[in-house]
Structure 1
Amino acid sequence: MKEPTAEMAVLRRTVEQLTDEVLKSKAEEEKLLNEFSAMNNELVNLQRQLAKSNAELKRTKEEAIRANDLKSTFLAVVSHEFRTPMNGILGMIEMLASSKLSPDQRQAIGVIRESASLLLNMINNLLDISKVEAGQMELEIGNVRVQAIMSHVAQLLEPQIYQMGNQLSIETDPGVAEHLEGDSARIMQILLNLLNNANKFTSEGNLVVRTKLVEETKDSQRVRFEVQDSGIGISPEDQDKLFQPYVQAGEGGASQYGGTGLGLWICSSFVKLMQGEIGVVSEEGQGSTFWFEIPFRKASGQADKIEKHENGELTARSELLREHIHSQVILVAEDNRMNRQVVQLQLNHLGFQHIDFAEDGQAAVRAASERSYACILMDHHMPLLNGHDATKAIRQWEVENQQPPVTIISLTGNVSEEDQARGREVGVNDYLTKPVTIENLSEKLVKWLPVPESEPILDEDVIREIMLLDEDGSTGLLESLVEMYTSDTPAKINKLKELVAAGEATKVVEAAHELKSGSVSLGVGRLSKLLSDIEQLARENRLENTQVKLSALQSVYQATCLELERYIHQSRLIPPC
């Protein structure tokens, strides 16, 4: 009986061990289940937190977009609200400066103008920063004349430079092409900022603006611009943060020298936009040299000729328009009384006498439907109908009544590309940004106002007859005649002007007739007409009435030369039948 008992004992122990293992396994399983459940709960919580975070992120993004839109709207409104009184201030300063003033009064006007210009510059800087931050800053690629830009910058800052007792010199590298492709307005703005800073931190010293040709290929040039001063210099620690926004060198920079600390950051943003580099070399007490390098494409060889031709045509239009200005009627749609007064004085200064006014958009539409205007100067922000809506209504009325479209130039304080694009969609022809100067207003009117029919530059029938005199119908004879004509005419025009100035009416008749005969025989129509008018006025002993026509002679002659060159070039490309 002992053996079975021993077996039972072994079996019992085995069962007990198995039971323990089952219980242990079950405990471990429960533990794993609890851990899994805890992990699952944690995952659910994480998913909830993630969903909440995503919702918060989406809400934050939407709020940021709304805030950015509100900022853009705010800046557009602020821009307009600032520019409206600035238009009145600078407009009246311009009118006062053109009147007879005592030296003290002229000095006072100069101080007011400089202060207003500085305020306008700060407004422009704030708007530029908004565009840069929003990624809306765009380049306007066109013809860049480096020498002209540098001269213009020097001319603009000449009063401030003189006031600080500084001497300015300009050094240009002859290797830099006369015509390049780039954004001339941004380059000018960078140079203005840098030279203005150099002048501000220098007293009775020397300023230098220079260009250097850094690199050149067949189609491109990399140009380095430098603005050097002999001023206070900049410490190494300040140099590291100069191109950050709202930062100025030194602890008392803003209080001692003025400014917002935005200029250099804007310069840096513009340079980066043009794929360039910017930097500074400076030592405290030894002055500074700010530099930037820009890659340009070379402009085509026709750029200079095209520019001269366009300038000649605009000058000729200007002179022709001046003769008929008394008959032109302008409508000014502007709700601000001060701005209406400024525009009226500016138009009167240019010679316009027939000016109507509309104080809101509806009145502008009504006036345009009741009277024919040469041009409408349309403010954008007006009651009842804004400028864009008024323009749209006028264009619709013109279509419905089969009337020719009147030129509409928008007067606006909002300089955003989006706003201008919306305006062009509804029919705005062009824009004038407030504050409006007499020069800018004159340029737009010359560009857009209709002028009476004038003689064509060339009488192509006469030129074709000259070409037929060549047996092969080539341009050989024409080119020889043009060469003789262009070699003699400039001196003859100068002689004619001298005779008019001397009051020699009889000799003016002879000189004008001789020039006219040579021009007629070559088919130079418009110049011939001018000379014929001068000859007739001299015969009537009315030399004082020849000034407008005399001032147009040179520009019409330049346009004639370019047109002759174009005609000859085209005739070579298209052989005679």
Structure 2
Amino acid sequence: MAKKIVLIIIFFALFLAGLSYGIQQWIILPSFYQLERELAIKDLNRVLDAIEQETNHLTNVTNTFSSWIDTYKFAEDGNQSYIKNNFGMTVMQITQIHLFQIYDRAGKKIKEEIFDPLYLKNITLSLFDRQLLPRHDNFFQAQPEDLLQGIVLSEYGPLMLSALPILKDDGSGPVNGTLIMGRFISQDIIRRLSKQTKISFFVEPVEKNKIHSPPASNQEKDKELITTNKHVLIAHGLLRDIFNQPALKIHANIPRDITMHGIDASTLTSMTILLSLLLLGTTLLTLFCVYNTKIKKVNQEIKKEVDYRTFQLRLAKDDAEQAKDEAELSREQAIKANRARGDFLANMSHEIRTPMNAILGMSYLCQRTELSAKQARYINNIHHTASSLLGLLNSILDFSKIDAGKMELEITDFTLDDCLSYLDRLTFESVREKDVPLIFDVQAKLPFMLKGDLLRLGQVALNLVQNSLKFTERGAIYVTVKLVEQTQQQVSLIITVEDTGIGMSEESAEHIFDEFIQADPSTTRQYGGTGLGLSISRQLILLMGGKISLSSELGKGTQITVELSFEKSNHSNREVCDALAGKQIIIIASDNKLALAITHTLASYGANIERFNTFTSALTHISNGNILLINEHFRAQDIRDFLSLLRQKNLRTTNILLSNQAELPEALAQEKLAILSKAVHLSSFCLAADIGMIAQQLKTEQALHRNKIVSLEDNLRGKRILLAEDNAMNRQIIVELLSDVGINVILAENGLQAIELLSEHKVDAILMDIQMPVMDGIEATKQIRRQTQWQAIPIIALTASAMRGDKEKGLAIGMSDYLTKPVFSDKLYQSLIRWCGEFPTQAKMSAAAPPKVPGSFDGTNTDILPATHQTAPEPVTAAPAEFSRQILDIEAGLKVCAGKQHLLNSLWQQFSDKHGDSIQRLKNLLENGDIKQACALLHNLKGIAGNIGALTLARQVADLYRQLTLSPGDMDKNQLENMAKQLQQVLEAINKQLQEKPPLP
């Protein structure tokens, strides 16, 4: 025991010594060292700030000289008398100016004085040995707001420099030249600053070959602290020149008073702690001896505890085996749930793509009719929006990608203008309705295409702008694009969306990117939305490797900043980027911020821009060939007078009105004015001004589209196609698409009817829907391929399913091609040309007996439908006074039918024939407990009612369908009766309409 106590004492003494040393070195002194370094950095910063103040003082002096009217007049005519007193040697010595140079507005040197402050003699500096400043030179100051200041190195030592534009004494322009003034950093200045900052320092030029820091300025790397001894700390700092290159190295000697005090404090603290621990150790040793006898007793208790824990371990092992069995069961349940999710996605794909097919098909058909410019813009926006939605749907419904928990990017080549054009097109109507202009401010010239996911970028930009539009009632929304960094392979852009809307508090902004979160719960009620938009945008930005941030002030607006990097494409964009090179554009607008944004955007494409606030100030600068952009805020009479004055002066200009509206106001309708959205970008401007490759390309595309239609008719006219499709709306759309190019159609509602019709008619190809009642497309294809005489007939699948593997399954059973709904006309025609051209035509039109044309396309009539060309919109007949739009909205029905009355009449007839007894059939199904068939009947009725204009009925059916699927036992009988009354009123209204305007034969 005695030996143990001695060993404990020795160990404890060593421990105390080590503890004392550790407290000093790792606890006390590091804090003093850190404080010393922080204060040293502050002292160094004071020196740097003092030198910067000297540079600012020089800039103030330069500003005084550059804004004197005498300097302005001298730069204008070179008369020495204007500056004889102002720029004399005495004034230069008083102001400590050692260099000044005056250049006229063309960059030609017209006055110069450089002298050595030490010997007071004139000298020559190679850095300023130039007679002409190019406009691109850093020293050339062309704009009133331009400024250049900093440090440069010369053979006579470091020199503080300031360059400012020469303006009038009231600060107005135009700029009449550039004034450059300099002051050598002499020893007198160093001594004065040392006395001022109370820090001893000196400076020396930096040797270029000894600089290892990066050329870009980095405040941390530009500062260095070196410990020479325990009394002095040397602080080094870098001053960079106007070219952002290291120029001067500052050496500051900092006394280490804090460290010396720290050493004294740590010694005293260590001694105090040692004494305390020594007392504590003595006490503990005494207690150790007392309690040593108790340890043996405790050992016995521990043994008992160990035995008890062993028993618990055995029980835990049994529990682990049971948990393993439960985990296996959970895994099996997860697999079943995953499979159920896949089935759900497949069904949702079909349900979503079916109405998408109608939207895209009808909008395409409507685009091919005679439309006004306003109607064409509406239809184009519908078609582009639906196409964008379809693109997102294709990625979301890809099961393997969703199962992996990620969405893949589709990398393509695109231009910045592609994204801006997409954004302008899809927000135009919202901007017009709210009269809150969307303005693009592009401050990046990119003579190359970018590589990235244009769909996702457009989705994010559209989401941010629509969000700003929703919460902005007045002011404007600015989308600013800046080029941050450019390398050989990549470019980095900052895209900012700034609005003048309601803004939000700092607390709300912290959670704005969370799912289902809005700044204020009342926001959803007032403005709508789910709170998912910014969350989805943030996820897409992160997926693209970017960053997104938000700053907002309640009541003033919000600014969202997106930082993204894109790879450079190998494809040049030079022709597009220089589309406006040399064009003279004049902007006349009182809104300076709008004018500046448009200036940035158009100047990035090589245009020369001038801005004026009034017509009077602009008039003297206008010449032939100029393009004038006139803001709509001027009075119409003033605009007419201005245009009339241009005609009187025989000035031939292209005149464009900047407006949020789609058409010219009535007061300007007679003027030769183009109209342009304030969201000015390259393609919209070129189209409005009818210049450049973009405008020509659009005209070429329109001509190619017309030629393409003629070519399609030549290749497909007279072909006979069997269409198997159970959805009446989809049948109607596909028949219209086929008829437009001269194809004759045979209709079937299911696979069994298709086989029967195939026995009666020879066809060139079969369009086969996959999901149909009675017999689906898969089984029908199998039976057709078993027959030798039909094996050569192309079978093209039509399906709303977008799940991976569906196409492979279809091709494996003998289908020739696979089209996913919505069916696009181009893909449909391409597939028919491909497959009908590879096989000999089986169908031959009988010249003696032309086929009969049925009156409706409900699939029950099996006659051949010949091609028709009724593409022009028909007159819309107003609804009779006997019923209201609450019963049958004819305008809504005509919108679905692309303005074709004969299509709407046909759909009415189908609805009347098919759903005249739907209520009775529904009641019978409910009485028999057949909920599944009842839901199917309501689902079909809901879709057709919405298509024919029975909107109120469609809502009532949807409510009943939702109640029946959620809680069949709680169905409200009054709701069923109300729906029955509404259906009867719809049927009566349809019969009256058909009697007045029967279906066209």
Cα displacement (A) at 1:392: 7.3
Asked whether the 8 Å contact 1:193–1:264 carries over to 2, the reply is yes
Is 1:280 matched up with 2:550? yes
1:172 aligns to what?
Answer: 442
Cα displacement (A) at 1:228: 2.7
Q: Which amino acid aligns with 2:715?
A: H
How far apart in 2 are the matches of 1:452 and 1:243?
Answer: 52
SS at match of 1:234: coil
Deviations 1:479-528 (A, max 9, x none): xxxxxxxxxxxxxxxxxxxxxxxxxxxxxxxxxxxxxxxxxxxxxxxxxx
Cα displacement (A) at 1:101: 9.0
Alignment match of 2:322 (pick from 40, 52, 58): 52
1:100-499 equivalences under 5 Å are: 127=396, 135-301=405-571, 320-348=711-739, 350-361=740-751, 371-373=762-764, 377-383=767-773, 386-387=776-777, 403=792, 406=794, 408=796, 410-412=798-800, 414-417=801-804, 419=806, 429=817, 431-434=819-822, 436=823, 440-442=824-826, 444-446=828-830, 449-450=833-834
SS at match of 1:202: coil
How far apart in 1 are the matches of 2:555 and 2:452?
Answer: 36
SS at match of 1:355: strand
Uncovered stretches (5+) of structure 2, i.e. residues with no partner = 1-296, 576-696, 838-1001
The structure showing larger relative contact order (alpha-carbon pairs under 8 Å, at least 6 residues apart) is: 1
2:263 aligns to what?
Answer: none
How far apart in 1 are the matches of 2:572 and 2:371?
Answer: 46
SS at match of 1:224: strand
Asked whether the 8 Å contact 1:388–1:428 carries over to 2, the reply is no
Deviations 1:4-25 (A, max 9, x none): xxxxxxxxxxxxxxxxxxxxxx
How far apart in 2 are the matches of 1:35 and 1:452?
Answer: 87
Q: Which amino acid aligns with 2:435?
A: G
How far apart in 2 are the matches of 1:322 and 1:71?
Answer: 44
Q: Which amino acid aligns with 1:360?
A: N
1:544 aligns to what?
Answer: none
SS at match of 1:157: helix
Q: Which amino acid aligns with 2:833?
A: L
CA gap 1:303/1:165 in 2 versus in 1, 3 angstroms: closer
SS at match of 1:179: strand
Percent identity, aligned pairs only, is: 30
How far apart in 2 are the matches of 1:302 and 1:101?
Answer: 37
Deviations 1:362-386 (A, max 9, x none): 5557778974536x54434234565
Q: TM-score, normalised by structure 2?
A: 0.35
Q: Which amino acid aligns with 2:796?
A: I
SS at match of 2:747: strand
How far apart in 2 are the matches of 1:71 and 1:62?
Answer: 14
1:43 aligns to what?
Answer: 313
How far apart in 2 are the matches of 1:84 and 1:283?
Answer: 44
Cα displacement (A) at 1:52: 2.4
How far apart in 2 are the matches of 1:317 and 1:117?
Answer: 23
Asked whether the 8 Å contact 2:482–2:495 carries over to 1, the reply is yes
How far apart in 1 are the matches of 2:352 and 2:367?
Answer: 22
Asked whether the 8 Å contact 1:391–1:408 carries over to 2, the reply is no
Deviations 1:395-438 (A, max 9, x none): x67999774x84736342x444555565577666454443x5xx
How far apart in 2 are the matches of 1:218 and 1:235?
Answer: 42
Deviations 1:206-227 (A, max 9, x none): 2233433232221222333333
How far apart in 2 are the matches of 1:129 and 1:282?
Answer: 37
Q: Which amino acid aligns with 1:188?
A: G
How far apart in 2 are the matches of 1:304 and 1:428?
Answer: 43
SS at match of 2:418: helix
Q: Which amino acid aligns with 1:338?
A: M
SS at match of 1:299: strand
Cα displacement (A) at 1:341: 1.4
CA gap 1:451/1:433 in 2 versus in 1, 3 angstroms: closer
How far apart in 2 are the matches of 1:402 and 1:261?
Answer: 54
CA gap 1:325/1:213 in 2 versus in 1, 3 angstroms: farther
SS at match of 1:449: helix
Cα displacement (A) at 1:121: 8.9
CA gap 1:384/1:232 in 2 versus in 1, 3 angstroms: same
Asked whether the 8 Å contact 1:407–1:448 carries over to 2, the reply is no
How far apart in 2 are the matches of 1:300 and 1:338?
Answer: 45
How far apart in 1 are the matches of 2:539 and 2:550?
Answer: 15
CA gap 1:336/1:262 in 2 versus in 1, 3 angstroms: same
Q: TM-score, normalised by structure 1?
A: 0.58
Asked whether the 8 Å contact 2:397–2:802 carries over to 1, the reply is no
Asked whether the 8 Å contact 2:524–2:530 carries over to 1, the reply is yes
How far apart in 1 are the matches of 2:808 and 2:312?
Answer: 54
Report the count of equivalent residues.
411
How far apart in 2 are the matches of 1:446 and 1:324?
Answer: 11
Asked whether the 8 Å contact 2:448–2:568 carries over to 1, the reply is no
Q: Which amino acid aligns with 1:211?
A: V
Stretch of structure 1 that moved more, 281-290 or 295-304:
295-304
Cα displacement (A) at 1:322: 4.0
How far apart in 2 are the matches of 1:95 and 1:312?
Answer: 16
